[in-house]
Amino acid sequence: MILKKANVLIVDDDPDVLTAVKLLLKPLTQEIITEKNPENLNWLLQKNTIDLVLLDMNFNSAINTGNEGIYWLRKIKEWKPNVCVIMITAYGDIDLAVRSLKEGANDFVVKPWHNEKLIDTITDLLEKKEGGAKTTKSSKSSTGQTSILGESEVMEDIFHKVNKIAPTDANILILGENGTGKDLMAKAIHERSLRADKPFVKVDVGALTDSLFESELFGHKKGAFTDAREDRMGRFEEAEGGTLFLDEIGNISLQQQAKLLTVLQNRQVTRLGTNKAVDINIRLICATNVPLQELANENKFRKDLIYRINTVEINMPPLRKRAEDIVVLARHFAKMYSTKYMKPAADFDNTAVNKLRSYSYPGNVRELQYTIERAVIMADDSLLKADDLIFSVLEAPTESIIDEDNIQLSTLEKNAILKVIDKHNGNITRAAKELGLTRTALYRRLSKYDI
C-alpha cells in the first residue's frame, strides 16, 4: 500500500486536530510530523522528505490576512512544488477552500471529516502522484447504496466535483436531458454528505398543481381546505436535518417560484391554515432538463430563485457525450438483470458491442438500461448479439432522421475535425476541448475517418 511509504506533515494550530490525525494516520504511514506554527513550514520541508501536507485554512499568526491558508499554500508550492497539499477547512470557509484549488491545492477536507474519507483522499492523491493506473470510477456513497458508473473524462470531472461539494451544505442545481441520471446523482450526493443518516426526500414539483404545491411542500392544518381531514407535515419538514430534492424545478409557475423563494430566504415554512412559522434545516438539491440559459428567461423563471438554488451546478452529460461509458454501463445492467431474472450472466459479442457504440441514445442512460433489460429477458443465449438489442420505438423518428443524413453529417464532422486540429497545430488536447469531446472520443473519430 502506497500510504505505508508516505511521510505526512500536518500543520494546524488546534492541538486536538493534530492529535486526532496523528492517531489516525500513524499506523498507516511511514512517518507523521505535526506542527502548530506554520512559520516553521520551510524549515520542516527542507529538513524532511515530505510527500503530503495537511494544511489548516486559518491560524492565529502574524500574517492575519483572513486567508492564512492561501498564503502558506503559495509558500509550500514555491518551496516544494511537487508536494501534495490538502487544505483543512470548516463550513464557513468553503469558498476560500475552493479558491485554494485554483492556487494549487490538490484537495480539501471539511471539519469534521469522516476518517475513512480522509484516508481515501490521501491515498488517491499519493497514487496519482506515483502515476497509478487509471481505473473505472464511480460516484459511490460511504453507505454503498448509490453508484454512478463512468470512466470518461467528463464523468471523472463530475466525480471530482461531487467529492468537493457533497460534504458541504451548498445548494446544488443538477442540469441535464431526461434519462441522464439526475435523480441518481442527487441521491449519491446525499449519501456522501454529512447528512447521510438523515432523510432524503424527493418531490416532483413539476407535477404539482398550484392548489397542491403549498400543501405538499409546506404542509397543512386540519380544515385548511375542503379535503384537509387531518394535520399533515410538508416535505420541507419531512426532510428536516437531511436533503430535499426538488425534481423538474424548471416547470413550476412564477407564483410557485415566489412562494418557494420566500421559504428559502427565511428558512421557515408555515403550514396552510396556521400562522405559526416552523424553522427548517435542510440541504436543497434541485434538478431540471431545461437548459440554464433558457431557465434564466425572467418571463419563465425568477433569476433571484436561480441564484438561491444554484450555489453549485452539475451538468449531467448525455450518453452520446460520454461514449467511453456505454459498454461499461451496458455490462453493469446486464449483470444486474441477469441476477434479477435468475438467468446466466449475460455479456456481449462483438456485433452487440459495435451496435451499442454506434447508437445515438436520444433516451440516454435510461434508454440503454431498458434496452439491456429487454435483451436479457428475451435472448436465448447469455452471449447477447446485435439482433438481441432492440432500441426503443419511442426514439425511432430521431434515429431515422440521423440515418437519412448520415453521409452528409459524417463529411461535415470529418471536415470540422480536420479544421480544428489544423488550427491547433496538431494539439489533440486543445482540439478535443474546442470540439466538446474527450481526447479518447476524438481519437476514436480520427480512427473512424482514417485521419
CATH value at residue 107: 3.40.50.2300
Residue 373 lies in a domain: yes
The verdict on 429 and 343 lying in the same domain is no
**What HEC string does the chain produce?**
CHHHHCEEEEECCCHHHHHHHHHHHCCCCCEEEEECCHHHHHHHHHHCCCCEEEEECCCCCCCCCCCHHHHHHHHHHHHCCCCEEEEEECHHHHHHHHHHHHCCCCEEEECCCCHHHHHHHHHHHHHHHCCCCCCCEEEECCCCCCEEEECCHHHHHHHHHHHHHCCCCCCEEEECCCCCCHHHHHHHHHHCCCCCCCCEEEEEHHHCCHHHHHHHHHEECCCCCCCCCCCEECHHHHCCCCEEEEECHHHCCHHHHHHHHHHHHHCEEECECCCCEEECCCEEEEEECCCHHHHCCCCCCCHHHHHHHCCEEEECCCHHHCHHHHHHHHHHHHHHHHHHCCCCCCEECHHHHHHHHHCCCCCHHHHHHHHHHHHHHHCCCCEECHHHCCCCHHHHHHHHHHHHCHHHHHHHHHHHHHHHHHHCCCCHHHHHHHHCCCHHHHHHHHHHCCC
Which three cell numbers mark 118? Answer: 480522509
Tell whether 140 is covered by a domain.
no
N-to-C CA span, the chain: 42
CATH number of the CATH domain containing 344 = 1.10.8.60
Q: Which of 319, 438, 321 is nearest to 372 (CA)?
A: 319
- Give the pLDDT band of residue 147 (cuts 50, 70, 90): low
Q: Which of the residue ranges 10-14, 77-81, 174-178 would you say has the lowest mean pLDDT? A: 77-81
Is residue 155 located within the same domain as residue 116? no
Please give the average per-residue pLDDT across 15-19, as a whole number: 88
* Residues 108 and 120 both lie in one domain: yes
pLDDT classification of 85: cutoffs 50, 70, 90: very high
Q: Are residues 236 and 383 in the same domain?
A: no
Residue 440 has pLDDT above 80, yes or no: no
What is the predicted pLDDT for the residue at 422?
Answer: 76
Residue 142 in any domain: the answer is no
Q: What is the pLDDT of residue 60?
A: 66
Residues 164 and 310 grouped into a single domain: yes
What CATH number did the domain enclosing 422 receive? 1.10.10.60
Q: What is the mean pLDDT of residues 212-232?
A: 81
**pLDDT band at residue 317 under the 50/70/90 scheme:** very high
* Residues of the domain holding 157: 148-315
Burial class (CB in 10 A: 0-12, 13-18, 19+), 389: buried
Buried b (16+ CB within 10 A) or exposed e, 42-73: eebbeeeebbbbbbbbbbeeeeeeebbbbbbb
CATH number for the domain that contains residue 199? 3.40.50.300
| 247-257 burial code (b ≥16 CB/10 A, e <16) | bbbbbbeeebb
pLDDT range class, residue 224, cuts 50, 70, 90? low
Tell me which of 383, 399, 415 is where a domain ends.
399
Q: What's the structural domain count of the chain?
A: 4
Q: Check whether residue 169 and residue 293 sit in a common domain.
A: yes
> Which of the pair, 370 or 150, is modelled with greater confidence?
370
Residue 69 and residue 190 in one domain: no
Q: How far is CA 184 from the centre of its chain?
A: 10
- Does residue 139 lie within any of the structural domains? no
> Which residues, in sequence order, are CB contacts of 136 under 8 Å at separation 6+?
149, 150, 151, 328
Q: Over the range 82-118, which residues count as b (16 or more CB within 10 Å of their CB) and which as e? A: ebbbbbbbeeebbebbbbbeeeebbbbbbeebeeebb
Of 299, 315, 331, which marks where a domain is finished?
Answer: 315
Q: Looking at the structure, tell me whether residues 365 and 432 fall in a common domain.
A: no
- pLDDT at residue 209 in the model: 81
Strand partners, 204: 247
pLDDT value at 214 more than 90: no
Alpha-carbon gap, residue 147 to 145, rounded angstroms: 7
> Which amino acid does the sequence have at 398?
T
Categorize the per-residue pLDDT at 144 as very low, low, confident or very high, splitting at 50, 70 and 90: very low
**Average pLDDT value for residue range 394-403:** 46
Q: Is residue 37 part of a domain?
A: yes
**Domain final position from 134, 159, 190:** 134
- Both 290 and 165 in one domain: the answer is yes
State whether 311 and 369 are in the same domain: no
Which positions ≥6 away from 291 have C-beta within 8 Å? 175
Do 275 and 382 belong to one domain?
Answer: no
Neighbours of 29 (CB within 10 A): 22
Contact 142, 196 (CB under 8 A): yes
* Average pLDDT, rounded, for the chain: 83
Q: Is residue 346 part of a domain?
A: yes
pLDDT band at 139 (very low <50, low <70, confident <90, very high): low
Is residue 46 one of the residues assigned to a domain? yes
In a domain, 13, yes or no: yes
pLDDT band at 326 (very low <50, low <70, confident <90, very high): very high
Give residue 68's pLDDT. 79
Same domain, 187 and 259: yes
Lowest average pLDDT, out of 1-5, 121-125, 129-133, 153-157, goes to: 129-133
pTM (predicted TM-score)? 0.59
Q: If pLDDT is split at 50, 70 and 90, which confidence band does 1 have?
A: low
Tens digit of each residue's pLDDT (9 = 90 or more) over 347-397: 999 999 999 999 999 999 999 999 999 999 999 899 999 999 998 766 554
